[in-house]
């Protein structure tokens, strides 16, 4: 199981920030407690790139491409792990690299 990593937010709205921080904490706790969960760290990659977002939370087209590539790379790494799945599930076998190679 993959857990989306903590989401970045630069919102000045306290309710949005509190909600995002609560969500991020819950994901991090789950990943730390469950060896079947791999945390993919979107937050650390995206935080320095506000230009990847249409607002303070939702990615734009560039952000979606980067986000998708990060997941593809993480899944490939997990599939290469001999302790991970030996046969890719539906969709994983056909994952392709987005953007320049």
Segment 64-75 shows an average pLDDT of 89
| Residue with the larger pLDDT of the pair 74 and 12 | 74
What's the sign of the alpha-carbon dihedral 12, 15, 20, 21? positive
The whole-number pLDDT of residue 1 equals 47
CB within 8 Å of 69: residues ≥ 6 apart: 97, 98, 99
Cross-strand pairs, 25: none
Segment 67-79 shows an average pLDDT of 85
Residue 55's φ and ψ, nearest 5 degrees, are -145, -150
């Amino acid at each position: 199981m993959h857990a989306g990593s903590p989401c970045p937010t630069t919102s000045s709205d306290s309710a949005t920030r509190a909600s995002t921080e609560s969500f991020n904490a819950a994901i991090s706790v789950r990943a730390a407690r469950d060896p079947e969960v791999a945390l993919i760290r979107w937050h650390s990659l995206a935080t320095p790139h506000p230009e990847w977002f249409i607002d303070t939370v939702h990615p734009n087209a560039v952000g979606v491409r980067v986000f998708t590539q990060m997941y593809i790379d993480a899944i490939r790494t997990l599939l290469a792990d001999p302790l991970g799945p030996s046969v890719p599930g539906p969709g994983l076998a056909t994952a392709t690299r987005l953007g320049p190679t």
